[in-house]
Amino acid sequence: MKLKKGINIIDQHDKFGFYCNGKFGGNFVAETARKPIEDLSKLFEKLRRSKKFLKKRDFYFKHYLGGETPFFKLNNLTKYLGGAQIWCKDVSAINGDAHKAYHATVNALICKESGKKFIAGDTGAGMFGKNLALAAKEMKLSAKIFMGTKDISRQAPNVKFMREAGAEVVPVDSGSKTLVDAVSECMRHYVSNCDTTHLAVGSAIGANIFLKICAWSTSQISRELKRQLIKEFGEIPKLKLINVIGGGSSALGFWNEFIDYDKKHVELIGVEAKYAAPLATNAKVAILHGAAQYCLTDKEGQIAETHSLSAGLDYPGSSPLHGLLKDTKRARYTLASDKEALNAFKLVSKLENLRPSLEPAHAWSECIRIAPKLKKSDVIVVNNCGKGYKDKKIYIENIGYYPE
């Protein structure tokens, strides 16, 4: 299997929605959802080719989400680690505090275009839920956010945002009470209400159209980064792009524009949470939430429980697109433990004016691990994709403080 050059990775599927000769993706959904999904696919393909819609998207990205997020060198961390130059693409500076703002906003725009008045989404860390709630408010839609009860309690600050924005937060108390159960419940809600409700899936997962919409939306990150790199370096230097992977939406957005580059030129490194790492641990392919993907399961094929301090990473599956990037060896996947992520947060927040949430702290951990072994001419860029305020309590519980 080879990636096709010059074709957006999201479009490298067959007519059944499969990537990699049928190995990943597809549309494993109940008959009831087929028609609404097909309608959504048609609508999305039309909108992404419509100048008017793109203008609207860009308007919202600029004026509602605050425009280009900053890109800067971390001089202290670079000096401290003594190897590669370390740069930060600070996506957390966006209005909405995480990359989830892009696809929450796009989903609300699509919902509006579809004529539907209800929007439903899942959330783990609460970043997607919060952004969807805000976008729904902005566009006068009624939002339902599905969230595991364990996550409602550990990501309370974001739950507050959702409720204040007028969204209904639906607690999901089944299974492990985390993201996997929230996604299942949200999909069930969709099956029952697909005639009136737009489904916004919180990561680059789900049946084909959902992961396409997601990765298409977050790609804004790499469009900006490419411009910013050229402005700084006059060219695309030899790069390592490090990104955390939960479902994989931020990584796909961070990498999208760079996939055609040779991996010796632009290396893509994904970091999963240690006990939620289907890509890094060579898990089996399984069908979860409508798509075939690398996924943690038990011997019987039941979906396995995961464990991570980070609610956004506590998910057994992975985007079918990451399956494709792994099998074609375009990206490399590794993992970081809770402890390593916490240590990374300590160091980064001590040396730099950054307060990453637990999710990007995993990416920082890999950066800290590899930077000292690299040369000064090597450039590492880390996607700092989420703000730490939501994890303040968890940081205090685990490291004793949260730097203001």
Ligand X SMILES: Cc1ncc(COP(=O)(O)O)c(C=O)c1O
Question: Which residues lie below 8 Å from residue 76, measured CB to CB, with a gap of 6+?
Answer: 351, 352
As measured in angstroms, the least distance from the Cβ of 219 to ligand X is 13
- Alpha-carbon distance of 378 to 250, in angstroms, equals 23
Contact 73, 85 (CB under 8 A): yes
- Residue list 154-213, contact with other proteins (CB under 8 A): 174-175, 180, 184, 187-188, 191-195
Tokens 């890109």 appear where?
71
Contact partner at residue 302 from other proteins, ligand X, none, CB < 5 to 8 Å by partner kind: other proteins
Contact partner at residue 32 from ligand X, other proteins, none, CB < 5 to 8 Å by partner kind: other proteins
Contact partner at residue 248 from ligand X, other proteins, none, CB < 5 to 8 Å by partner kind: ligand X
DSSP symbols for 85-139: EEEEE-GGGSTTSBTHHHHHHHHHHHHHHHT--EEEEEESSSHHHHHHHHHHHHT
As measured in angstroms, the least distance from the Cβ of 288 to other proteins is 6
Residue by residue, what is the 3-state secondary structure of 296-314? CECCCCCECCCECCCCCCC
Contact partner at residue 125 from other proteins, ligand X, none, CB < 5 to 8 Å by partner kind: ligand X
List beta partners, residue 400: none
- Residue list 266-295, contact with other proteins (CB under 8 A): 284, 286-290, 292
Work out which of 143, 229, 244, 309 binds ligand X, going by CB under 6 A: 244
Report how many residues bind other proteins under the rule CB under 8 A.
Answer: 35
Question: Among residues 168, 207, 181, which one has the least CA distance to residue 28?
Answer: 207
Indicate the DSSP class of residue 10. G
Work out which of 357, 365, 380, 388 binds ligand X, going by CB under 6 A: 357
- Alpha-carbon distance of 357 to 345, in angstroms, equals 8
Work out which of 111, 245, 361, 367 binds ligand X, going by CB under 6 A: 245
String marking each residue 275-314 x if it binds ligand X according to CB under 6 A = -------------------------------------xx-
Q: How far is CA 106 from its chain centroid?
A: 14
26 is a site residue for ligand X (CB under 6 A):
no
Work out which of 220, 250, 256, 334 binds ligand X, going by CB under 6 A: 250
Work out which of 17, 25, 36, 246 binds ligand X, going by CB under 6 A: 246
Nearest to ligand X of 200, 245 (CB atom) = 245
Question: Tokens standing for 296?
Answer: 């943690």
Contact partner at residue 43 from other proteins, ligand X, none, CB < 5 to 8 Å by partner kind: none
203 is a site residue for ligand X (CB under 6 A):
yes
Nearest to ligand X of 77, 273 (CB atom) = 273
320 is a site residue for ligand X (CB under 6 A):
no
Contact 367, 86 (CB under 8 A): yes
Nearest to ligand X of 116, 154 (CB atom) = 154
CB 220: neighbour CB atoms within 10 A?
26
Contact partner at residue 184 from other proteins, ligand X, none, CB < 5 to 8 Å by partner kind: other proteins
Q: Beta strand pairing status for 24-25 and 71-73?
A: unpaired
* Binding piece for other proteins, criterion CB under 8 A, among 5-13, 24-32, 73-81, 109-117: 24-32
As measured in angstroms, the least distance from the Cβ of 153 to ligand X is 16
Rg (CA), the chain: 19
124 is a site residue for ligand X (CB under 6 A):
yes
43 is a site residue for other proteins (CB under 8 A):
no
Per CB under 6 A, residues contacting ligand X are 98, 100, 124-125, 127-128, 203, 244-250, 312-313, 357, 359-360, 385-386
Could you list the residues that contact other proteins (CB under 8 A)? 16, 26-36, 174-175, 180, 184, 187-188, 191-195, 284, 286-290, 292, 297, 300-303
